[in-house]
């Protein structure tokens, strides 16, 4: 005869249907081991009932409610402010793109960079600074070209 398992706890808690409860009672009448387990479970439940209630600190609820006000305020501000900030950022990015000079097509070529660097490094001690300035958009390409090795600018 298989022993009862979680039906025992449910029986103890009175959550079984009348039919299932009757079946458990019938089993218990014949099974000393399950009766012992039921007694143990009852004792465990009684032990748990001895645990005293834990009361929260009296200031916890007021502090919590006060914190909720802050959370609500933080939520109430955003939608128009975020929209305005997003629009401003978008405009700023757009204007920056429009205002910046179009890069020289050669700039995109990697080989051009190394070639120019080698030439400038040989001709001008400050060529790295000049090239970096150009690449970062500070120095116009025309100025850079004027510094290129040439009969006027060896």
Partner 1 sequence: MTSAHVALSVALPVDELAQAAEGASARDQFAELLAAHWDRAYRFAYHLTGNNADSDDLIQQAAEEAFRAFHRFQPGTRFDRWFFRIMHNSFVDRIRRDRRRKIFSLDEVTGAAASETADPSAIAEGALDGPVLRALRALPPDARAVVALVDLLGLPYDDAAEILHCPVGTIRSRLHRARLALREWLRPYVDAMKRGDL
Binding residues (CB under 8 A) for partner 1: these are 5-6, 8-10, 13, 15, 39-41, 43-57, 60-61, 63-65, 67-69, 71-72, 75
Is the CB of 33 or the CB of 106 nearer to partner 1?
Answer: 33
Is the CB of 36 or the CB of 149 nearer to partner 1?
Answer: 36
SS3 150: coil
Q: Measured from the CB of residue 24, what is the shortest distance to partner 1 in angstroms?
A: 13
Q: Measured from the CB of residue 39, what is the shortest distance to partner 1 in angstroms?
A: 6
**Exposure of 134 by Cβ count < 10 A (0-12 exposed, 13-18 middle, 19+ buried)?**
buried
Return phi, psi of residue 32, to 5°.
-70, -35
Write the DSSP string, 84-98. HHHHHHHHHHHHHHH
C-alpha distances in Å from residue 144, one per residue of 2, 73, 118: 94, 55, 14
Q: Measured from the CB of residue 78, what is the shortest distance to partner 1 in angstroms?
A: 13
Is the CB of 53 or the CB of 96 nearer to partner 1?
Answer: 53
């Amino acid at each position: 005869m298989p022993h009862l398992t979680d039906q025992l706890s449910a029986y103890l808690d009175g959550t079984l249907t009348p039919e299932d409860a009757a079946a458990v009672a019938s089993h218990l009448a014949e099974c000393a081991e399950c009766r012992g387990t039921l007694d143990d479970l009852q004792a465990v439940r009684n032990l748990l009932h001895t645990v005293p209630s834990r009361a929260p600190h009296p200031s916890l609820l007021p502090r919590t409610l006060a914190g909720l006000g802050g959370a609500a305020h933080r939520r109430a501000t955003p939608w128009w402010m975020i929209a305005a900030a997003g629009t401003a950022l978008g405009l700023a990015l757009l204007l920056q793109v429009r205002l910046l000079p179009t890069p020289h097509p050669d700039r995109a070529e990697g080989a051009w960079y190394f070639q120019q660097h080698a030439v400038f490094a040989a001709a001008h001690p400050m060529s790295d600074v000049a090239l970096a300035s150009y690449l970062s958009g500070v120095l116009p390409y025309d100025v850079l070209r004027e510094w290129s090795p040439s009969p006027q600018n060896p």
